Amino acid sequence: MSEPVIVLRDLSKNFGDVHAVQDVSFAITPGTIFGFLGANGAGKTTTIRMLCGLTRPSRGTATIAGKDVWKDRHLVRTKFGYVAQRFSLYPDLTVVENLRFFGGACRVPRTELDGQIERLLALTDLPGKRDVAAGSLSGGMRQLLALGCALVHDPPLLFLDEPTSGLDPVHRQQIWNLLYDLASAGKTIFVTTHYMDEAERCTELGFLDRGRLLAMAPARELKASFKTRLLEIEAEPLMPALVQLRNVPGVLGVALRSGRLRLYAAAPEQLLERWRQKWPFSDIKLLGERWVEPDMEDVFTAYSQGYTTLLKGESR
Amino acid sequence: MKGISMSAIASVAYKEFLHIYRDRRVLLLLLILPPLFTLLFGHAFENTQLTDVPALLIDRDDTPRTARFIDIISKDKTFQWKRRASGFNRDSDLLANGVKASLVIPAGWSDSLSNGDPKPLPLYLDGSDTNTAATVEGVVQQDLANFQAKERDLIVESLPDEVIELGKKLPINIRKEFVSLMSAWGVETKNLYNPKSRFIDYVVPGIIGLILQLLTVTLMACTIARERESGTLYQLMVTSLKRGEIVLGKVLPYLAVSVVLILVVSLVTWLHFQVAFYQPAVLGLVCLLFLLCSLGLGLLISAFSRTQTQAIQFSVFFLLPVFVLSGAFAPLDQLPDTIGYISELFPLTHFCRAFRLVNMYHAGPSFYAVDLMVLLAGAVVTFLGAAFLLKRIEE
């Protein structure tokens, strides 16, 4: 394993009495696609902004390539590119003008800038849109351009704050393919998302909940942190079944998945055993049951809803 | 500031220039408004001589003598007289008559003059407009004095020969004294600094300053606020750009635009109003310092506001007292001391004063050095303030 590129030690941020981020510590090695997961308001954006030197940490430290993200923020800025959650390019400037401006702002030498712009246009599949105003691009193309602008100085590290939210599946796929290419070229990708299928694509995941890091592990390890497989049942009528099962003692939560009800319960075998002896709901018919492996969404639900009894103890 | 790169500033400046260039409506406004304002304000303040004031004249005496007085007063271009019959009795109802003044010659006035007991003429004035009222009173007084002199000449001409003979017996020095007393005494006025007595020459710096102040402050105020509103400010901050580079890069295009505006406005005043410019290099320096100060103010407002709407609101709140109290269109001497001190805070005040000292008074640098220093200090303070506020945004 090579030296970690990002190291966080007890990184915290308070806004008045609100603890947006609390004592978050982890390290990321180069070439990782790190997925930072959490509900809205969990503190993902605040963490990224601290790492980018846009917000001063209240406590703790973070380093990028050995440099402090706050004290040495002017040095650190050459090391990463940042794609913000909101579209934050200049809508009245064309695609090329945006790239050229950020190239100049990131001090890309003039002699290299033209070549770099052509490379980025090709990479983001935007050569046909070079003289189109950024504001007239579709959401997906805007995001590709934002990615291009973040890469203009060829940084080893890329921060992306929900880069695919609100995009169609085709553009999401395109952006992820691009991220794979970048990671395979040795770049480190730090991406926040709340799409679980995207979480599956990351090589490493971190779960943030109300400012605290609950878990940090590769995707496979996180799924393996469930104590048991999950019980899925088929029942009719579906919706009343969902509502009534939620209130059964021992059931922490019920999720609807492709017409089946997935139960989050600490001891699902015992529940099923009881139900086989006596089905307690006269107005609902039990049609069948099966056992499934937990997926990322289950992991996310378990961590974000605090179903700790389902988990083998918080990993790492 | 260390490590400031010219090419980084150029990148920001070029981008900012594109923003101006792409916003066609504002660009059109920038190109059309200044010359239009110059023509508008220039003509509005061109003529300060009060003429054609609507006024009412009622002659209840109707004698040859009043006819002679009316002849004099009718020729006065200050007034546009409306005559009313002697039976008209709403003398003081100026509003209903649509006039600014009403002069009444009461019945028996000529007799009172002949009887050695001259009655005053009632003159009703619209006091709501203090300037006009004072002027009208003075003009009527002057016309009356002229009338009096003419009447005296008539009496002297018609004196019987014995009186003339008697007068010739008086000692020569008393006769001379008497002749002197009989003629009107006056002053010989020489207008210095504005020999043609044109108000336009006075008001030019006001017009230039007002337009520049309005456009530079509001446009500049929007720049950083816009980046803040759209989130691009953070994108700027994660680049290698330093604050100084952002600030300078943003100011330069607006400075260039403002210089073009000054040239356009000067050209219009020169060609259309024949205003001469004395020592153009010094005037240029005055304009430059004023511009830097205004741009700095805009920048300060910009760094202070969170949205463009706020930026515009702050600009308007700032500009409103500036327009009234800066002496752009009227001399500041009438202001009470306290308010005079406040007006010294506005860059426009110093700009107008320095500009006039150079262009009208042809004064030496010692007269306007203080104003230039104030403008320079203002520019430095506002730029530093904006950089400081930007640093606070960063944290």
Q: Does residue A77 share a domain with residue A152?
A: yes
What pLDDT was estimated at residue B166?
Answer: 85
Contact A179, A202 (CB under 8 A): no
What pLDDT was estimated at residue A86?
Answer: 85
Mutation pick from A88, A147, A151, A154 vs chain B, by most beta carbons of B within 10 Å, is: A88
**Domain map of chain B by residue range?**
6-46+199-394, 53-182
Nearest by CB: A102 against B23, B239, B394 = B239
Give CA–CA dist B311/B293, Å, rounded. Answer: 17
CB contacts under 8 A, B 89-148 vs A, are: none
List the domain range (segments joined by +) for residue A239: 230-293
Contact B359, B278 (CB under 8 A): yes
Q: Does residue A218 share a domain with residue A240?
A: no
Asked if the Cβ–Cβ distance from B22 to A53 is below 8 Å, we say no
Tens of pLDDT, residue by residue over B298-342, are 999 988 888 999 999 999 998 888 888 888 887 777 778 888 888
CB of B5 less than 8 A from some CB of A: yes
Mean pLDDT of chain B: 88
Q: Does residue A236 share a domain with residue A199?
A: no
Cβ-based neighbours of B8, under 8 Å, separated by 6 or more: A104, A105, A107, B240, B241, B242, B245, B249
Three-point CA angle B164, B166, B172, nearest 5°? 90
Q: Does residue A77 share a domain with residue A15?
A: yes
CB of A56 less than 8 A from some CB of B: yes
Asked if the Cβ–Cβ distance from A105 to B11 is below 8 Å, we say yes
pLDDT band at B288 (very low <50, low <70, confident <90, very high): very high
Tens of pLDDT, residue by residue over B148-206, are 989 988 888 888 888 888 888 889 898 888 888 888 788 888 888 887 778 888 888 98
End-to-end CA distance of chain A: 18
Tens of pLDDT, residue by residue over B249-261, are 999 999 999 999 8
* Interface predicted TM-score (ipTM) over 0.90: no
Asked if the Cβ–Cβ distance from B18 to A97 is below 8 Å, we say yes
Closest residue of chain A to B237, computed from CA coordinates: A54
Token digits for B322? 């500036």
Tens of pLDDT, residue by residue over B50-109, are 788 899 999 999 999 999 999 999 998 889 998 888 778 888 888 888 899 999 999 999
DSSP three-state, residue A87 = coil
Handedness of CA B246, B251, B254, B260 (dihedral sign): negative
Handedness of CA B291, B292, B295, B301 (dihedral sign): negative
Shortest CA gap A243–chain B (Å): 43
Q: Does residue A64 share a domain with residue A144?
A: yes
Q: Is A74 inside a domain boundary?
A: yes
Q: Does residue A248 share a domain with residue A170?
A: no
Tens of pLDDT, residue by residue over B104-154, are 999 999 999 989 899 999 999 998 988 888 889 999 999 999 999 899 888
Q: Report the CATH number that the domain containing residue A118 is assigned in CATH.
A: 3.40.50.300
Q: Is A309 inside a domain boundary?
A: no
Torsion, Cα of B324, B329, B332, B338 (10° steps): 10
Q: Does residue A113 share a domain with residue A251?
A: no
Contact B61, B105 (CB under 8 A): yes
- Alpha-carbon Rg for chain A, nearest whole angstrom, is 23
Asked if the Cβ–Cβ distance from A92 to B19 is below 8 Å, we say yes
Residue ranges in chain B assigned as alpha helix (H): 6-22, 24-44, 64-75, 94-97, 109-114, 130-157, 161-168, 172-182, 199-230, 232-237, 243-273, 280-304, 308-325, 337-343, 347-359, 365-394
CB of B39 less than 8 A from some CB of A: no
Asked if the Cβ–Cβ distance from B10 to A104 is below 8 Å, we say yes
CB of A86 less than 8 A from some CB of B: yes
Total structural domains within chain A: 2
CB of B4 less than 8 A from some CB of A: no
Task: Name every chain A residue with its beta carbon within 8 A of the beta carbon of B232.
Answer: 88-90
Q: Does residue A76 share a domain with residue A190?
A: yes
Q: Is A312 inside a domain boundary?
A: no
Mutation pick from A56, A64, A90, A159 vs chain B, by most beta carbons of B within 10 Å, is: A90
Mutation pick from A106, A113, A136 vs chain B, by most beta carbons of B within 10 Å, is: A106
Give CA–CA dist B319/B317, Å, rounded. Answer: 6
Q: pLDDT at residue B49 above 80?
A: no
Asked if the Cβ–Cβ distance from A105 to B8 is below 8 Å, we say yes
CB of A70 less than 8 A from some CB of B: no
Cβ-based neighbours of B158, under 8 Å, separated by 6 or more: none
CB of B240 less than 8 A from some CB of A: yes
Asked if the Cβ–Cβ distance from B232 to A104 is below 8 Å, we say no
**How would you list the strands of the sheet with A6-15, edge to edge?**
A18-28, A6-15, A59-64, A67-68
Give CA–CA dist B19/B22, Å, rounded. Answer: 5
Shortest CA gap A180–chain B (Å): 24
CATH architecture, domain B53-182: 3-Layer(aba) Sandwich (3.40)
What pLDDT was estimated at residue A315?
Answer: 42
Q: How many CB atoms lie within 10 A of CB B167?
A: 12
Give CA–CA dist B378/B384, Å, rounded. Answer: 10
pLDDT above 70: percentage of residues in chain B: 98
Task: Name every chain A residue with its beta carbon within 8 A of the beta carbon of B7.
Answer: 104, 107, 110
DSSP three-state, residue A226 = strand
Q: Where are the beta strands (DSSP E) in chain A?
A: 6-15, 18-28, 33-37, 59-64, 67-68, 80-83, 157-161, 188-193, 204-209, 212-217, 230-236, 251-257, 260-265, 285-292
Largest CA distance in chain A: 78
Three-point CA angle A290, A295, A300, nearest 5°? 125
CB of A307 less than 8 A from some CB of B: no
What pLDDT was estimated at residue B104?
Answer: 92
Tens of pLDDT, residue by residue over B212-269, are 888 889 888 998 889 988 889 889 989 989 888 998 999 999 999 999 989 999 999 9
What pLDDT was estimated at residue B1?
Answer: 47
Q: Which residue has the tokens 């107005």?
A: A283
Q: Which H helix or E strand runs over B79?
A: strand B79-84
Q: Is A305 inside a domain boundary?
A: no
Closest CA to A26 of A10, A46, A50: A10
Q: Does residue A202 share a domain with residue A180?
A: yes
Handedness of CA B9, B11, B13, B15 (dihedral sign): negative
Q: Does residue A164 share a domain with residue A136?
A: yes
Q: How many CB pairs under 8 A join A and B?
A: 78
* Burial class, B322, CB count within 10 angstroms (exposed 0-12 / middle 13-18 / buried 19+): buried
Task: Name every chain B residue with its beta carbon within 8 A of the beta carbon of A93.
Answer: 15, 18-19, 22
Task: Name every chain B residue with its beta carbon within 8 A of the beta carbon of A87.
Answer: 231
Q: Does residue A72 share a domain with residue A166?
A: yes
Give CA–CA dist A50/A10, Å, rounded. Answer: 12
Q: What is the pLDDT along chain A (316 residues), one digit of tens a residue?
A: 578 999 999 999 999 889 999 999 999 999 999 999 888 888 999 999 999 998 999 999 999 999 999 999 888 999 999 998 888 899 999 999 999 999 999 999 999 999 999 999 999 999 999 999 999 999 999 999 999 999 999 999 999 999 988 889 999 999 999 999 999 999 999 999 888 888 888 999 998 888 999 889 888 888 888 888 899 999 989 899 999 898 888 889 999 998 899 999 988 888 888 888 888 888 888 888 899 988 888 888 888 888 888 887 644 3
What pLDDT was estimated at residue A178?
Answer: 94
Q: Does residue A67 share a domain with residue A33?
A: yes
Token digits for B68? 């002679």
What pLDDT was estimated at residue A307?
Answer: 85
Task: Name every chain A residue with its beta carbon within 8 A of the beta carbon of B236.
Answer: 105
Task: Name every chain B residue with its beta carbon within 8 A of the beta carbon of A105.
Answer: 8, 11-12, 236, 239-241
Nearest by CB: A101 against B5, B11, B242 = B11
Asked if the Cβ–Cβ distance from A80 to B19 is below 8 Å, we say no
Q: Is A299 inside a domain boundary?
A: no
Shortest CA gap A56–chain B (Å): 6
Q: How many CB atoms lie within 10 A of CB A253?
A: 15
CB of B21 less than 8 A from some CB of A: no
Is the whole-model pTM more than 0.90?
Answer: no
* Burial class, A148, CB count within 10 angstroms (exposed 0-12 / middle 13-18 / buried 19+): buried
